[in-house]
Amino acid sequence: MNYFELFNINPEFSLDLDLLANTYQRLQQLTHPDKFATASDRDKLLSVQKNAQVNDAYQVLKSPISRAEYMLGLRGLELRHEQQTLQDTQFLMQQMEWREQLEDIDGSANAEDQLAELDDEIAQLIRTQVASLAEQLAINNEQANLACADLIRKLKFMYKLRQEIARKDEQLNDF
């Protein structure tokens, strides 16, 4: 089943996350296996399956990256578990610079400030890239979908880098 149809929402990148969460709560209540405790084994199994589907759909739709990947999958462009690398040399150079910057922070006297600056820089770029992703997904043609795939690859790297920054910040604060 299409996750957008399951939640009875338009298949668009920009979603009302409060509406999504409320719909999730309602669907959880309707499909929760505890409601089917006295039902037949078949109905119990169906409720478990439906409840798992509701959970999976919610996890995908609430995350911008997962939602964009899912939308591209519905359009025939499957990105999940892909091994293709990004071909944007400028972004690859930027990745290297960020990695070097992150490594250089270790011995710095003002490491926390530098981490915060790097995190802010990447967070701002993520906001810009997500806005571009929304625009490209709205176009919905082959060229725009391929551009979305590249944006998703970049965003995955940036989210992962922000997680590394957060871990490094935690390590600094542990001492």
Measure CA of the first residue to CA of the last residue in the chain; give whole Å.
Answer: 49
Residue range 21-47, pLDDT digits in tens: 999 999 999 999 888 888 898 988 999
* pLDDT at residue 26, rounded to an integer: 97
The CATH number linked to 141 is: 1.20.1280.20
Question: What average pLDDT does the structure give for the chain?
Answer: 93
* Domain boundaries, position 55: 3-62
In a domain, residue 79? The reply is no
In a domain, residue 73? The reply is no
In a domain, residue 67? The reply is no
57 and 114 part of one domain: no
Residue with tokens 């505890």: 34
